[in-house]
Structure 1
Amino acid sequence: MSATQVGSQLYSGQQHGREKNPGHPLGDEIYDALLADLISLRIPPGERLSVDALARHFTVSQTPIRAALIRLESEGLVIQKFNSGFSAAPLPEGRYFRDTYAFREMIEPELAMLAASRVTPEDIIALEELCTEMSCLAAESRPDNFGAFAERDNAFHTRITLIAGNQVAAEALSRLYIHSNLFRLRYHSTITTSAVSEHLEILDALRQKDAESARNLMRRHIGHSRERVEPFFTETENFPENQHYSGASNAQSGPEEHDDT
């Protein structure tokens, strides 16, 4: 397990609109590392997460490990079953992703419109850098680039939400982006230049402070994104019941095993 690698800053609490806890920096690092491994599927869905083994791996006590796992459980990425410890959550089902895109199509266009009136030159530079990095990753056309591409994709959308000034929306959407990454890595890990072009159009509208165009372009972009992955939704709906969940942290439980964690 590669959890020794501290998670990318694109997946850090600050990037997702969450405040880091200055009193528990070690716990934050463990959370970031586990989050990065869950999102990248280096920790596969369903894999058991032994608190004792993780504590030895990180050479820390069990307390920060449990804190990180409970935090991940609250985000629907880890499940805890009575007398069997923690495990990585199964992949969400197709219905959950349809609901995710419906929610995004309602919320994100309005946030883009608000962001157009609040965006600063520094924000534009940050968004430009993300678009440039996505373009470079797309140009290389390597399958193993998708994780990095998805990170920047999520960071682009998160940045716009934060520019709009809605912390609650940023926190809600960040969770949806994480779950979307899990789906895309499993079923549709293809980098599309169309997504980059659509981001550049949104960026140009923000640069021009054209609120109406920003809203319309974001709505179109999310619609196109949904169309690109929708054919894969039915694959998850054909899973056995214990192989998927609805996105809630109290996911469906399978057969219990005893774990001395």
Structure 2
Amino acid sequence: MKLIKTDKTKKKADEPRTNLTERIYQIIKDDIFSFRLVPGDRFSENEIAERVAASRTPVREALARLQREGYVDVSFRSGWKVNPFDFKKFEQLYDVRIVLELAAIKKLCEMETAPDLEDVKRIWLVKPEDRLKDGPTVCGLDERFHEQLIEATGNMEMARIHHEITERLRIIRRIDFTQRNRIEATYDEHAKILRTIIERRAEDAKSYLKTHIEASKAEVRKITLHMLYEAQQQHPADSE
């Protein structure tokens, strides 16, 4: 397993340790979800510290956090190792997300005063030629679309819980936007959901939303398995 050092990982001289730990955490997590580190890969704290130009203390703190989240594990004899991809955990998070968003749609359709969805409509109810094409940009807008539906209910506790789930899913959901057809599908499906909410057709809106999220979940799983297979073929010896 070879870790590539890049300019973006250079340590800032005045960077607080909490920020440094968070940055290292995000770098390693990104490596795992971009399959630069695949299940079975082993590495040492020294390798990570050299790559990110940091001491071992913030590296150890970042790895401990990833260990608590189930992404890596450590052995006294062989150092750190990337754990198998836990689809079950992500599917459970998707299930919770669906429950929250279905409840939000029901409330939006029943509100006495129509919810303010103008900002959402300006982004998603556009002509095909005005749609954005950049995957990461659309991914960010997709995330906000679902958060804004929750926020429009006025239930900030629901919004807080939903935001926490969104953050835990973010690094895998972006895989859904590596395919052009998925970007187009997102625009079509969001527009359909929005229109049925505006028309207060709660059951149709809930059905469209559930289908939309389930399709995204299935696509993410399929793409992830394909990307994982390709990554393992590139360096199979590392995954033994």
Is the structural similarity TM-score above 0.5?
Answer: yes
Is the contact made by 1:92 and 1:179 (CA closer than 8 Å) also made in structure 2? no
Cα separation, 2, equivalents of 1:54 and 1:107: 38
Q: Residue type of the partner of 1:157?
A: H
Tell me if 1:137 matches 2:133. Answer: yes
Aligned pairs for 1:26-105 within 5 A: 26-93=20-87, 99=92, 101-105=94-98
Q: C-alpha distance in 2, partners of 1:3/1:49? A: 17
Relative CO higher for 1 or 2, CA cutoff 8 Å, sep ≥ 6?
Answer: 1
Distance of 1:106 and 1:191 partners within structure 2 = 26
Change (3 A) 1:214 1:106: same
Counting matched residue pairs gives 209
State how 1:134-173 maps to structure 2 within 5 Å: 135-137=131-133, 145=135, 149-150=138-139, 152-161=141-150, 164-165=155-156, 166=158, 167-173=160-166
Q: Which amino acid aligns with 1:65?
A: V
Q: 1:80·1:87 contact (CA, 8 Å) conserved in 2?
A: yes
Do the aligned partners of 2:49 and 2:55 also contact (CA within 8 Å) in 1? Answer: yes
2:19 to 20, 25, 31: 25
Report the alpha carbon displacement of residue 63 of structure 1 after superposing the two structures with TM.
1.5
Contact between 1:128 and 1:203, CA under 8 Å: does it hold in 2? no
CA distance in 2 between partners of 1:226 and 1:119 (Å): 30
Change (3 A) 1:176 1:200: same
TM-score by length of 2: 0.60
Query: How far, CA to CA, are the matches of 1:228 and 1:48 in structure 2?
Result: 28
Q: Check whether the contact 2:24–2:59 (CA below 8 A) recurs between aligned residues.
A: yes
| Pair 36,152 (structure 1): closer, same or farther in 2 beyond 3 Å | farther
* Aligned-residue CA RMSD (Å): 4.5
Once the 2 structures are TM-superposed, how far is the Cα of residue 33 of structure 1 from its aligned partner?
2.8
Give the equivalent residue in structure 2 for 1:220.
Answer: 211
Question: 1:106: which partner in 2?
Answer: 99
Give the TM-score normalised by structure 1: 0.56
Question: Does the Cα contact within 8 Å between 1:28 and 1:68 map onto a contact in 2?
Answer: yes
Aligned partners of 2:148, 2:67: CA distance in 1, in Å?
A: 25
8 Å CA contact 2:124, 2:187 repeated in 1: no
SS at match of 2:77: coil
The 3 A distance-change label for structure 1 pair 214 and 41 is same
- 1:181-220 → structure 2 map (5 Å cutoff): 191-192=181-182, 193-204=184-195, 208=198, 210=200, 212=202, 214-220=205-211
Pair 1:26–1:97, CA change in 2 (3 A): closer
Q: How far apart are residue 77 of structure 1 and its match?
A: 2.9
Task: Name 2:236's counterpart in structure 1.
Answer: none
Alignment deviations for residues 11-38 of structure 1 (CA, whole Å, 9 cap, x no partner): xxxxxxxxxxx87122222223333333
Give 3-state SS (helix, strand or coil) of 1:137's partner: coil
Q: CA deviation at 1:131?
A: 8.7
| Aligned match of 2:13 | none
Residues 219 and 42 (structure 1), Cα distance of their counterparts in 2 relative to 1, 3 Å cut: same
Q: CA deviation at 1:106?
A: 2.9
The gaps in structure 2 that reach 5 residues or longer are: 10-15, 233-238
Taking every aligned residue pair, what percent have the same amino acid on both sides?
23
